[in-house]
Each structure stands twice: as C-alpha cells, then as structure tokens.
Amino acid sequence: MLDYIIMGMVLEKELTGYDIKKKVENSVGTFYKANYGRLYPALNKLTEKGCLIMNEQMQGKRIKKYYKTTELGKEAFLEWLSAPVDMNMSGEAQLAQIFFFGELPKEVRDKRLQEYAFFIEQGLNPLQNIAKMLPNDNSDEKDYFGIAALYYGIQAMHNTLRWLNHIREQKPFSQFLRKHDE
C-alpha cells in the first residue's frame, strides 16, 4: 500500500523522502500514516525495482535525493489503482485508494465506484436487519453503547454511499456538507 501511495505522490513532480512524507500528511493523511522507518526503505526498494528513479542533488553540503515514478512504476501504480477496492482492508485504506481515482480513465473509475457502492450496500443490509430487530425502548442500559456502535456503522455507510453518489457525478462540493441540527 505504501509503495503505491509513494508512486502516486511522485507521478509528475520529483520529491525527496522528506517532502513525500509531508505531502502524504496533508493530503491522504486523514486515512494513511507514513513514517520514516518504512518510507526510506520503501524508496530504496522501489528504486531497485525500477519503479522510481532517484536523482541526487547537492544543496550546500547536503545531499538531497529526489524521487520520481518511472514508466514501470506508473504501470504498477495504475494496475493497483484500477483493481477493485479491497474490502478486507480498513475503510481508511480504501479511501486512500480512491484518493487517486483522478488518475483513472472515467470508464474504469465509474465501474469501480459503482462496484464499491454495491459492496458497501451488501455490508449495510445485515446491519440494518439487526437494527430492525432491536427493541425500540432503551431496554438494557449496558447494551446501549453496543447498539450505538451499530448505528454508527450504519450511519457511516450511508454517508459513504451519499458521498459516492456525489463524486460519481463529479458534482462540486460547495453544497456537499449538510447543516447539523443540534
């Protein structure tokens, strides 16, 4: 996963490992955390494999290593990107993939987004059935937070579906966020 995120970050502009980490933080950062402990080793491995090219530059007395994705890397990246979203991964990791969907041809992208919505609906149904069978009154105090977690999941899935509908049509986000009734 980190490999693909790195390659996605330096598709066009070359960056240092340090820059890449910063870029990850303030873009996909909400969904994916990188740290130097595996970032730098990953950069070396990807360079060895030929997925990145490294370009050393001197800045005063310091060597800076700039990385950029090669054609081979681009292929690997697009292969990963165009594969169906892996539902075994955490929701956050799934979002990290969709983050790059702008790099995908519209056809493939739409297919994947629809597919993804379908998977979420499939996960949503059993949860909704459980919710329906639950007693309406606050019967057992101790169970409340378990039920709350269930509803959290249902809500989150609903919201993801709404979001997917939105981005499938590439609507602007000016009116995406809703007012919240206190």
Partner DNA sequence: GATTCCATGTAAATGGTTACATGATTCT
Partner DNA sequence: AGAATCATGTAACCATTTACATGGAATC
Take residue 134 and report the two structure tokens written for it: 């639950």
Nearest distance from C-beta of residue 83 to DNA, angstroms: 15
Residue ranges with strand state E in the chain? 52-59, 62-69
**Cα 54 from Cα 67, distance rounded (Å):** 5
**Axis-axis angle for helices 2-9, 36-49 (nearest 10):** 70
Q: Residue 97: how many CB atoms within 10 A of its CB?
A: 24
Please say which residue, 70 or 113, places its beta carbon nearer to DNA: 70
Of 123, 98, 96, the C-alpha closest to 113 is 98
Q: Is 147 in the site for a second copy (CB under 8 A)?
A: yes
Q: Is 162 in the site for a second copy (CB under 8 A)?
A: yes
Provide the binding-site residues for DNA, judged by CB under 7 A: 1-2, 16-19, 22, 33-38, 40-41, 43-44, 59-65, 88
Q: Is 31 in the site for a second copy (CB under 8 A)?
A: yes
Which residues sit opposite 54 in a β-bridge? 67
Nearest distance from C-beta of residue 107 to a second copy, angstroms: 15
Please say which residue, 18 or 144, places its beta carbon nearer to DNA: 18
Take residue 140 and report the two structure tokens written for it: 């057992």
Q: Is 142 in the site for a second copy (CB under 8 A)?
A: yes
Residues binding a second copy (CB under 8 A): 26-28, 30-31, 90-92, 95-96, 98-103, 123, 127, 130-131, 136-138, 141-156, 158-163, 165-167, 170, 172-174, 176-178, 180, 182
